[in-house]
Amino acid sequence: MNVDVLANNPRWTTYFFIAAPVFAVVMAVVIILKYQQALADFPVIAGFLGFIHQFRSKSIISDEECQISSPITDPRYNKAFVHAILSEDDDMVAHLLRLGIVDANFYDGKMTVLQHAAATGNEDVIQNLLENGANVNAEAGHDRGRTALQAASEGGHLAEVDRLLEKGANINAAAGSKHGRTALQAASGGGHLAVVDLLLEKGAKVNPVAGSEYGRTALQAASEGGHLAVVNRLLKYGAAVNAAAGERHGRTALQAASEGGHLAIVNRLLERRANVNAAASGCQGRTALQAALEGSHHAVAERLRRAGATR
């Protein structure tokens, strides 16, 4: 019995007649490309090869266009990065930087990561960030912001203050507008005499004006904190005893010392002719006598009265 296979398999025949020409075309292209130099003399072949080369040239992306920095920073890791710095997890900070998925200049809305590290005084993290391109002079944020140097100075981290200065930190960078402090003001408010001495030696200005809101000069900050040794050092370097208080929540040096009940500093300032009746600042201000009485610092109030305080 004779069986016609093709007649009983129409689908197979369809596939065959489609595949055969495609296979032939592919093989022809392969042969032409393989022996293109030998076949280039034939006009039809030469035209085909020209079309292929033109198509390839448009499809190839230049090396310059492909220059995508790799690895790429990933914002999903920024929160973990800041947490690792604040918790002083040196290994995690180093790991994230090594992977290249975090930005050494990341700013979280309050401070850059270097500023956070400077506040903690972590030597290894600061060094790692600097080696990875952290900007040592990133500006202080608006509210309670600190440059890296201001943050290290406020924390009393002498070695890191010195390191940041060596890396070009601006010793007289402007303070933030609200609760801001220059490096010297920050160190003075914290009572860090060794840092104060280093900053003065390196050229820190003693009398930048207090910021407009909660600002303090270096002498006002030291007086507020009750740091007599720092007060004496600043006076030696020409600190202005009667520098104006900031416009909002400001204090003169005498008002600040009186508010804190620091009698020894009150005496020292009065010796240097502090204005005992200086006007209070416009918002939430206090005269020296008002500040002493509100704090129940009776010995200070009595001393102020003897010096001529009338309001």
Domain 183-311, CATH homologous superfamily name and number: Ankyrin repeat-containing domain (1.25.40.20)
110, with CB counted inside 10 A (0-12, 13-18, 19+), is middle
Query: What is the pLDDT at residue 142?
Result: 81
CA distances to 32, 47, 49, 51, 66 from 60, rounded to whole Å, are: 21, 20, 17, 15, 10
Whole-number Å distance between alpha carbons of 227 and 200: 17
Give the pLDDT confidence score for residue 232 in this predicted structure: 98
Q: Are 252 and 278 in contact (CB under 8 A)?
A: yes
Mean pLDDT of 68-93: 83
Domain ranges in the chain are 5-50, 183-311
pLDDT tens digits along 277-291: 999 887 888 899 999
Round to whole Å and give the CA distance between 185 and 76.
36
Task: Read off the pLDDT band of 43 (50, 70, 90).
Answer: low
pLDDT class for 260, splitting at 50, 70, 90?
very high
Taking each helix axis from N to C terminus, what angle separates 193-201 and 228-236, rounded to the nearest 10 degrees?
Answer: 10
Q: Is the bond preceding 21 in cis, omega lying within 30 degrees of 0? A: no
Summarised one tens digit per residue, pLDDT across range 185-222 is: 999 999 999 999 999 999 999 999 888 788 999 999 99
